[in-house]
Structure 1
């Protein structure tokens, strides 16, 4: 892809993945109105660099957002920005909407950079999210630009808008994926990072779902509380890389647990460090299944093959699949029409979530963005799978 050169290009062009003849290679498309506007401004301040203009448009947006006279803004009266030029006070004689469009154009390369980083970070999700979908999420995160750059300090000399935006956008993309994609949630936490992130209600529900009876439930919750109290990593570690507690930690957790059962008069025996490890492992498995709601996909079922099947086994298996198909058809018919359409487009025609959003947005205003489609598909999938396992 050709890199943009010059201030005029950077403030008047947008990245497009829509050119089918370019094998999905993104191309730059020019907005003629923005091009005319930035040309005029550059002529009035020829020595200014791109950071000058980025900060200029950001200050225009900030001034417009605090302006009390909304009619003045709408009519596009001059807005004077102090401190941007040693020689002039440059008037901006068009609306703040145009300033926002210029900033959106400028942030396109930051969006692309963040999209590429997210594409690498979530490489295990490439079957769901092509690069253009990450770019769409990035664009949604970057707009309106004034909101994205709300906390950017224009007075701090060691930062620039593009660098700040890259960091903010990659964080927002990651948050969006973690929030709406079950498979991403599964990979977000290390085992003990997950336990440290869990709350007591979630743990109890997770353990109950794994068949831990009420008599044992309090013991597992107590060992988890002792872990939270004892295991405090001495150095900063992210939830994805949190190491398991060492032997000394386990011994301290066991000691804490044994002290607590004596104080609380629990009807249970003292535990060793080995027993603590076993109980925590059970908590991890329960918590991970609870958080991610993992089920074996239909594709994985298709790949299961037993070469020792007898004709009788085959007949039983076929009958079982007929029953499963019948149940799935009934469940499919029970979900709303919107859900049926989305599942047909997704599973039947293998369309991406971005393509689904493009098709549905005209008739379904709440399905304008890829992440909205992803959220609805996740909800319908969970509903069907939940009914299947009842």
Structure 2
């Protein structure tokens, strides 16, 4: 694009600018270190060079503000999704940002400074190219803002993949089919089109960053994609047995079937579901329907067809053909390019959490939640903290609390946790009503759905002070290494050079991570009387996410290191 090359990557760059440049130009490559899978951060030099010229040294804006602005910019080039601001004329961008600031001032205020800076520099070639031109004219997804977002979403991809793999894949039979790298690759593929991935992100929402939203969305989409990939390997009869009518109808409509054919196919599928009862003969496989079962399906179809205005009866030899045609349509539907759109549509964010957060701002519901939580029996508090906070499995919690809970089976624990949640929500709503806040029935239902998501943050915060106290035991350079590695995503080589270290940075980070795990185990043993020595994988994941998102690390010496 004709921009001068920098002679030194960070010469004359403030700490804030360097952080922004690195955040939006760095990609992740998983690597092995002492048996652990750790991310290696690699800089894309094209994006890095462009950002050096775009980001002003004097501008004070958060990473989330830059991400939001890049999302708004990218939406103007993306015509694959129907967005509120997609295609918005440039002259209206100022007014749109003003509206967002009025709706959520703290979250969106930084976008105004970024936009005003670009308006003031609109005669500069680098700014014009950024706002007008893709990096590669042959690549419709090559708009610079989209590529910046793809880089910004690399950490959410890694942590979503790691959390999903450790909690869902590793304990299951799928561990032989999907490695952590496989999960990360699937997640990364979704960020190639970041506007589509983030199409349901509401810029007007408070209390949620774009990165947090992306991580949660990626994990949900990752789970569904792997489910669908697994289902694709199922036999026709297993696929039909566990198919939903919603997906059946959508598949047939996508294939262009007439309404009469869809009605006929749906009826024979229902008859199949009612009559076909059999046992799995091997993994992912179910046997063919017997002749007797096919006969019963045909008889039931012919008995029921008249209310659906189906004139022709079905012959027995036609039933298998129809069922196989349904299965083919479903497989095509699941493998189509529009699958991500459907997954995101199925997982639009619930208004329940927004309602709860809104209540928190207007009613100090945080205090009410704490009071209600502390009003639960002690064993209930421990179980919920382990489930929502440390994200232990039912089997792990049962192993730790079987005698205190007085139960033997995992399904009993699941029911017990539901009862604890119901008690908690009832107590919260009673206290809200005491403060003269009316809760409508529909809001109550949404809060019930949202309580899980709220409890995740609340229960995690129970364990954070133990870890934060341990930070005080670390030396200054150890805190700084963790800060640069987890929160600034410095390359390991650069950290080693900054501290003149000969040992590898990943091994030092793992050693520090293990010290936090040991501290947490000891604190929980002392405070709750629970031994977590068999839950190392959960604790590793918990500590990493805390270091990345919540740890308050010493940053006082950053400028000295950078210089």
> What TM-score results when the alignment is normalised by the length of structure 1?
0.44
